[in-house]
Amino acid sequence: MTVAISPTGILPEELMRPRKLREVMEFLVSFPATGDTKEGLLIGWARAVGVKVNSSQRARVRESGNDRQAPTR
């Protein structure tokens, strides 16, 4: 299980709103971090703003991690 990570200081303040899930996911997908870190930030954001994220949303962010991408040739 991934542990929540505080998004304070990482996510822009304007994304700290419940209706910003899509934008938060886009930000995290492009954010240079491991998949577990990205997922932890998503969970931390969700808890901070009082929304729920489902397993497919968590997986999408996690799989975009720089430790999960296939090596380039």
| 45 within a domain of the structure (yes/no) | yes
Report DSSP state, residue 42. H
The structure's pTM equals 0.90
- Decide if 24 is inside a domain: yes
* Count of structural domains within the chain: 1
Q: In this structure, is residue 8 part of a structural domain?
A: no
Domain residues for 57? 13-63
3-state helix, strand and coil shares in percent for the chain, rounded to the nearest 5: 55, 0, 45
Dump strand ranges (E) for the chain. none
Q: Using alpha carbons, list the distances in angstroms from residue 55 to 13, 14, 39, 62, 63.
A: 25, 24, 10, 10, 12
The pLDDT tens digits of the residues spanning 11-69 come to 999 999 999 999 999 999 999 999 999 999 999 999 999 999 999 999 999 999 999 86
Give the pLDDT band of residue 2 (cuts 50, 70, 90): confident
Q: Examine residue 6 and state whether it is found in any structural domain, yes or no.
A: no
For residue 5, name the pLDDT band (cuts at 50, 70, 90). Answer: very high
> Does residue 70 sit within a domain?
no
